[in-house]
């Protein structure tokens, strides 16, 4: 018998009054052990979705299941399996770092576990701050502590809501390493971030949300392959009279001054290497060649601007 999804949303909707819809009929399945990036602009509904799962927002309608347990039937116990790194600092400034983590364990019905606290502190490079008061921490260290609090009770589902906003590169890299370790151990990670390189580096699948609607859910590599492109720019030492016929048929264009070629390789199109081969075969005076692959950021912008993302759209249940 297969394991239930880590998180399943069925028609999740959240409205405020008659005019504002924060979430609109969201269907989403997230599988155990995957890293899922939920992407979208400010106000898209990401934090509302997370808050609905974590009990911080009261949904209007729909179903939320955590590891197969319906939160309408049991709103408390399934949430013991959930950890949240919020955007806001939310710990008592009069406790030490170690005390904050022990208190967090107690919130989740766990006994004091020194070994687990030390493990999390070491993973986030906070071991030297265990006895420091939280109010004395720097901004980056406070962000590390938020992450430690979310993980200290060993949740099976973790929400990272902009976990590296405004922090240094070192913390970002440390967190990436730890997130990968958690995923290999079976922890499910849901990540929201405006650092698209973070999502591109970590995510197994990507969901795009805007104005409360889930626009797309797709495996990251497939999305990059389907909607991305490799852009080729070749410059010539002297103006060339014309491009090879095969390059023109493939869609390559010659600049007005006849000194450069531009070609966008997309799925189903001729490889950029074929275009270059045609240039050299015809003996054209190639001076320089540059290529650039689309990033996740480029694709996200296209989707949000309304460029078609079909056929792969939400809801999706494919890991």
Span 162-209, pLDDT tens digits:
887 777 787 788 788 888 999 999 999 999 988 888 899 899 999 999
Q: What is the mean pLDDT of residues 70-75?
A: 95
Q: Are residues 194 and 68 in the same domain?
A: yes
Residues 61 and 39 grouped into a single domain: yes
| Helix, strand and coil percent figures for the chain, each rounded to 5 | 35, 25, 40
Which domain-ending residue is among 225, 246, 265? 225
Would you say residue 140 lies in a domain? no
Residues 6+ apart with CB under 8 A from 289: 232, 233, 234, 235, 276
CA atoms within 13 A on the CB side of 115: 0
Instruction: Name the phi and psi angles at 305, rounded to 5.
Output: -85, 0
In the chain, how many domains are there?
Answer: 2
Which of 173, 201, 225 terminates a domain? The answer is: 225
Range of the domain at 25: 7-92+154-225
Same domain flag for 263 and 218: no
What is the three-class DSSP state of 287? Answer: strand
Give pLDDT, residue 315: 43
Domain shared by 261 and 288, yes or no: yes
Report the C-alpha gap between 196 and 202 in whole angstroms.
10
Q: What backbone torsions phi and psi does residue 277 show, to the nearest 5 degrees? A: -60, -40
CA distances from 293 to 24, 200, 205, 233, 252 (A): 34, 13, 19, 12, 16
Residue 313, domain member (yes or no): no
Q: Residue 319 falls within a domain, yes or no? A: no
Q: Specify the pLDDT at position 202.
A: 92
- Please tell me whether residues 220 and 240 are part of one structural domain: no
3-state secondary structure 244-262: CHHHHHHCCEECCCCCEEE
From residue 19, give the alpha-carbon distance in Å to each of 15, 16, 22, 71.
Answer: 8, 7, 10, 26
């Amino acid at each position: 018998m297969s394991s239930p999804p880590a998180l399943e949303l069925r028609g999740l909707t959240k409205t405020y009054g008659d005019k504002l819809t924060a979430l609109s009929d969201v269907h989403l399945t997230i599988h155990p052990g995957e890293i899922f990036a939920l992407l979208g602009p400010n106000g898209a509904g990401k934090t509302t979705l997370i808050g609905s799962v974590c009990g911080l927002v009261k949904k209007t309608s729909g179903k939320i299941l955590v590891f197969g347990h319906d939160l309408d039937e049991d709103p408390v116990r399934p949430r013991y399996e959930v950890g949240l790194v919020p955007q806001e600092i939310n710990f008592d400034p009069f406790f030490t770092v170690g005390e904050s983590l022990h208190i967090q364990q107690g919130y989740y019905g766990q006994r004091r576990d020194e070994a687990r606290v030390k493990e999390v502190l070491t993973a986030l490079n906070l071991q030297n701050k265990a006895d420091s008061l939280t109010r004395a921490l720097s901004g980056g260290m406070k962000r590390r502590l938020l992450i430690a609090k979310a993980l200290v009770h060993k949740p099976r589902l973790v929400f990272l809501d902009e976990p590296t906003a405004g922090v240094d590169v070192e913390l970002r890299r440390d967190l990436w390493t730890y997130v990968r370790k958690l995923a290999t151990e079976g922890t499910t990670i849901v990540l929201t971030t405006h650092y698209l390189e973070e999502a591109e580096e970590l995510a197994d699948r990507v969901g795009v949300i805007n104005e409360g609607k889930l626009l797309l859910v797709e495996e990251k590599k497939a999305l990059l392959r389907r909607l991305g492109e490799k852009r080729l720019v070749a410059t010539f030492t002297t103006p060339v009279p014309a491009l090879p016929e095969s390059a023109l048929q493939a869609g390559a264009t010659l600049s007005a001054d006849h000194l450069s070629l531009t070609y966008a390789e997309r799925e189903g199109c001729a490889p950029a290497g074929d275009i270059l081969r045609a240039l050299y075969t015809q003996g054209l005076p190639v001076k320089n060649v540059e290529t650039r692959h689309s990033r996740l950021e480029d694709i996200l912008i296209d989707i949000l601007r309304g460029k078609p993302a079909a056929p792969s759209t939400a809801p999706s249940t494919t890991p």
